[in-house]
């Protein structure tokens, strides 16, 4: 006959630890997600994902660059194939070949930050406050 001494307390400690971790994660999630910092050259647009690397940016055909990084609303990197068929508001940067390099799917509070430039000409003419992640039109 085999006896297991202390198995029940270990299971209780494990269950308590897991429970506390879940409660803590829900508490920190409820406090809100941290503000994402977008670069000065990030523009805003509406991106419709087709079969990778093909996309429509503001209704015009574009391509994802090799190694393009797509971050979802939780700031997690996602594969372009998982986004096929979705149409989302984004901030994006272009590489030297005018292909999409970095893409951030916007959360509601990020989308509410207005104005945000939609063209490189607007970005050159406006002033960017990197600390507050806001643009000021002249």
**pLDDT value at position 79?**
96
Report how far residue 105's alpha carbon sits from residue 88's, in angstroms, rounded to the nearest whole number. 7
Structure-block tokens of residue 54: 């093909």
Q: Of the ranges 6-15, 35-44, 71-80, 106-115, which one carries the lowest mean pLDDT score?
A: 6-15
What is the pTM (predicted TM-score) of this model?
0.75
pLDDT band at 17; cut points 50, 70, 90: low
CA atoms within 13 A on the CB side of 110: 23
**pLDDT value at position 138?**
87
- Cβ-count burial of 41 within 10 angstroms (0-12 exposed, 13-18 middle, 19+ buried)? middle
Look at the alpha carbons of 46, 50, 51, 57 in this order and tell me if their dihedral is positive or negative. Answer: negative
The model's pLDDT over 1-10, given as tens digits with 9 standing for 90+, comes to 555 555 545 5
Mention every residue, 6+ apart, whose C-beta is less than 8 A from residue 126.
Answer: 115, 117, 135, 136, 137, 138
- ∠ CA 77-127-34 to the nearest 5 degrees? 35
Say if residue 73's pLDDT is above 90.
yes
Say if residue 27's pLDDT is above 80.
no
Q: Which residue has the higher pLDDT, 5 or 94?
A: 94
Whether residue 63 contacts residue 85, with contact meaning beta carbons closer than 8 Å, is answered with: no
- If you average pLDDT over residues 100-111, what whole number do you get? 97
**pLDDT value at position 34?**
82
Let me know how long the chain is.
138
Q: Is the peptide bond before 84 cis (omega within 30 degrees of 0)?
A: no
- ∠ CA 114-65-100 to the nearest 5 degrees? 15
**pLDDT value at position 23?**
46
The model's pLDDT over 38-49, given as tens digits with 9 standing for 90+, comes to 999 999 999 999
């Amino acid at each position: 006959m085999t006896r297991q001494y202390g198995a029940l307390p270990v299971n209780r400690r494990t269950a308590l630890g897991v429970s506390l971790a879940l409660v803590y994660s829900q508490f920190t999630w409820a406090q809100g997600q941290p503000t994402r910092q977008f670069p000065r050259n990030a523009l805003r647009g509406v991106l419709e994902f087709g079969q990778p690397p093909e996309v429509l940016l503001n209704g015009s055909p574009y391509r994802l660059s090799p190694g393009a990084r797509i971050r979802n609303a939780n700031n997690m990197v996602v594969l372009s194939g998982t986004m096929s068929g979705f149409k989302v508001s984004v901030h994006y940067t272009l590489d030297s070949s005018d292909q999409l390099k970095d893409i951030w799917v916007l959360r509601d509070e990020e989308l509410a930050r207005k104005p945000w430039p939609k063209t490189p000409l607007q970005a050159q003419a406006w002033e960017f406050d990197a600390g507050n992640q806001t643009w000021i039109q002249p």
